[in-house]
């Protein structure tokens, strides 16, 4: 009876875990924050409308954080692994965790929270594993040049479409043409190249506003992504462009920019066929045992059960 219960327990865990195996989860590990910088975050002006999380120092002036009441982990307007320096501006609608020192000038002191809910080392590993794993997905659609813009052609099946694109194609594009896509579906663009840009902001993203969009800059060291409607995953890249707006979640290595980040068009977690983080990838739902491992465990439990029954006989 005890063996039977143990086998049932293992099967329940395996079945429950497998529900998460194909889910691309962009922000659970950072509590749903609007923007995450693996290292330092610097801005001489502007704002991020939702919560800000940074593993290094945050140095901002004339800057507003979380004005739109979208805290991380329900309580945190900002989570700072290093030092926080705020000269003018405000941190709103939530408390702040600071791992180092806090320096405020011409700014009201936010509520200090004593606990850091983010494991920065594990989070960095997670995003670098995530970007590579997403980049390895098979394409289901294509992006081709069309006049001075691009034509995005989906599979026609709805759900999720994946596109592999060179950053050079987006760099000179001035328009979007969409076909074989269903409003509301997920569009994942794997963008290759060292520099990610969208025509210096000279392209309207409004045609993408009806979709759940992720731009995965899996190789980029620098990204200039102003004007984007959709979320940006670029864990090896620095953002240092100025002016403009991003509408969505942003994950980068470091930030030194006045680009405004708005708290809309957050990426919605989605189950993607063929997507599985490798073991040790730091998935926010916990590791899911490999099917082969589960088979071995199950076989071992059965063997133990037979041995136990023979001894009992």
Query: What pLDDT digit, counting tens, does each position of 93-135 carry?
Result: 999 999 999 999 999 999 999 999 999 999 999 999 999 999 9
Q: Are 9 and 39 within one domain? A: no
pLDDT digits (tens, 9 = 90+) for 215-258: 999 999 999 998 999 999 999 999 999 989 999 999 999 999 99
Measured CA to CA, the distance from residue 32 to residue 58 in angstroms comes to 19
The total domain count for the chain is: 2
Three-state SS for 58-100 is: EEEEEEEECCCCCCECCCEEEEECCCEEEEEEEECCCEEEECC
> What's the whole-number mean pLDDT along residues 89-96?
98
Is 143 domain-assigned?
A: yes
Residue 290 confidence (pLDDT)? 37
Quick one: pLDDT band at residue 20, thresholds 50, 70, 90?
very low
Whether 236 contacts 220, CB under 8 Å? yes
Q: Are 30 and 14 within one domain? A: no
pLDDT at 2 over 60: no
pTM higher than 0.75: yes
Q: Are 250 and 207 within one domain? A: yes
Q: Are 249 and 300 within one domain? A: no
Is 245 domain-assigned?
A: yes
Q: Are 12 and 65 within one domain? A: no
Helix ranges, 141-282 (H): 167-171
Q: Are 14 and 88 within one domain? A: no
Q: Are 10 and 82 within one domain? A: no
Q: Are 223 and 298 within one domain? A: no
pLDDT at 10 over 70: no
> What's the whole-number mean pLDDT along residues 195-209?
88
Is 16 domain-assigned?
A: yes
Is 109 domain-assigned?
A: yes
Q: Are 170 and 308 within one domain? A: no
Is 233 domain-assigned?
A: yes
Quick one: pLDDT band at residue 279, thresholds 50, 70, 90?
confident
> What's the whole-number mean pLDDT along residues 23-45?
98
Of the listed ranges 64-68, 86-90, 109-113, 171-175, the least confidently predicted one is 171-175
pLDDT digits (tens, 9 = 90+) for 147-161: 999 999 999 999 999
Q: Are 141 and 153 within one domain? A: yes
> What's the whole-number mean pLDDT along residues 177-198?
96
> What is the domain range of residue 303?
2-20+288-312
Q: Are 11 and 74 within one domain? A: no
């Amino acid at each position: 009876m005890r063996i039977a219960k143990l086998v049932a327990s293992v099967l329940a865990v395996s079945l429950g875990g497998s529900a998460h195996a194909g889910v691309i989860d962009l922000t659970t590990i950072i509590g749903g924050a609007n923007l995450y910088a693996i290292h330092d975050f610097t801005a001489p002006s502007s704002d991020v409308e939702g919560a800000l999380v940074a593993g290094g120092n945050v140095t901002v002036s004339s800057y507003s954080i979380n004005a739109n009441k979208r805290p991380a982990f329900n309580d945190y307007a900002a989570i700072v692994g290093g030092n926080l320096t705020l000269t003018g501006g405000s941190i709103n609608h939530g408390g702040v965790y600071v791992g180092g020192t806090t320096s405020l000038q011409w700014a009201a002191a936010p509520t200090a929270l004593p606990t850091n809910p983010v494991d920065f080392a594990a989070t960095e590993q997670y995003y670098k594993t995530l970007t590579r794993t997403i980049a390895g997905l098979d394409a289901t659609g294509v992006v081709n040049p069309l006049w001075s813009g691009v034509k995005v052609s989906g599979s026609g099946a709805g759900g999720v479409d994946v596109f592999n694109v060179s950053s050079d194609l987006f760099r000179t594009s001035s328009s979007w043409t969409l076909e074989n896509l269903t409003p509301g579906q997920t569009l994942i663009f794997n963008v290759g190249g060292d520099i990610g840009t969208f025509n210096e902001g000279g392209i309207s993203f409004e045609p993408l506003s009806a979709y759940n969009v992720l731009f995965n800059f899996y190789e980029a060291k620098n990204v200039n992504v102003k004007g984007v409607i959709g979320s940006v995953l670029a864990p090896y890249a620095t953002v240092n462009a100025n002016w403009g707006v991003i509408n969505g979640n942003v994950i980068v290595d470091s930030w030194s920019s006045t680009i405004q980040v708005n708290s809309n068009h957050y990426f919605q977690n989605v189950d993607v066929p063929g997507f599985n983080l490798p073991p040790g990838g730091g998935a926010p739902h916990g590791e899911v045992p490999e099917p082969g491992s589960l088979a071995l465990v199950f076989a071992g439990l059965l063997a133990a059960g037979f041995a136990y029954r023979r001894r009992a006989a």
